[in-house]
Amino acid sequence: MCGRIVQKSGPLDYVERIFPNPRRLFDDPAGRRYNIPPGTRPMALHRLAGDLELERLHWGWRPHNSKYLMSNARLDKILANAWPWKLLTARGRILVPADGWYEWKPLADRPKPPKQPHYIHAADGAPLYFAALSNWRPDAEKDEVHGFAIVTNDAAGGMIDVHDRRPVALPPDLAARWIDPDIELAEARALLENGLPETAFTWHPVRQEVGNSKYQLPDAIDPIAS
């Protein structure tokens, strides 16, 4: 996963798919975003304080005394209870809703191949729910110390990309369970092995401008001739 996602749906579109008839309205004044990179604040869903919340959290987590900013969390490390994910899996489970994500594929017919961006999304056009881990703290500054990393499954293999990894996108019922604060840690880890399969997705090439994360126009996800 190269680390660019799209959030073009409204907050209620994300919430109602996993929590029909929510008890309150959710809004987000920032509006639609078509090219969200790590280091910024995408919308995230969680129940870390009990009630369902939708807020913008920092994408990227820097563990205490670490020089590394982590935007992805490898599934195999989580399942092995490896540092630094064990504690976050127990107390920091969140969802990052998205409509899709970008990956770049080298153009093999060139001497020094540029990379062609592709937009990957659900075949049925529905919102996706990426499992993520956060060091969220109530009332803490929404910075990289309290940021999050999206879970990726490197063993699943890539789709169009060369990374051989993909975000773990949970189906709606499992997404709701993932952020349930009352489930056992073993069940939470097991949920991550049930991400959507490759057949649930489709993809197409998009314009080169999406290589610049400042490009936020709606046509960023439009297909182009390959």
Q: Which active-site residues does the annotation give?
A: 2, 103
62 vs 70: CA distance, rounded Å: 6
- Let me know how long the chain is: 226
In this structure, what token pair is assigned to residue 90?
Answer: 């127990």
- Main-chain phi, psi angles of 173, to 5 degrees: -65, -40
- Main-chain phi, psi angles of 86, to 5 degrees: -60, -50
In this structure, what token pair is assigned to residue 14?
Answer: 């994300």
79 vs 192: CA distance, rounded Å: 9
For the chain, the distance separating the N- and C-terminal CA atoms, rounded to the nearest angstrom, is: 21
Q: Using alpha carbons only, what angle is made at residue 100 by residues 25 and 141, rounded to the nearest 5 degrees?
A: 55
- List all residues 6 or more positions away from 24 whose beta carbon is below 8 Å from its beta carbon: none
**Dihedral angle of Cα 132, 133, 135, 136, to the nearest 10 degrees:** 50
Q: Are the CB atoms for 3 and 37 separated by under 8 Å?
A: yes
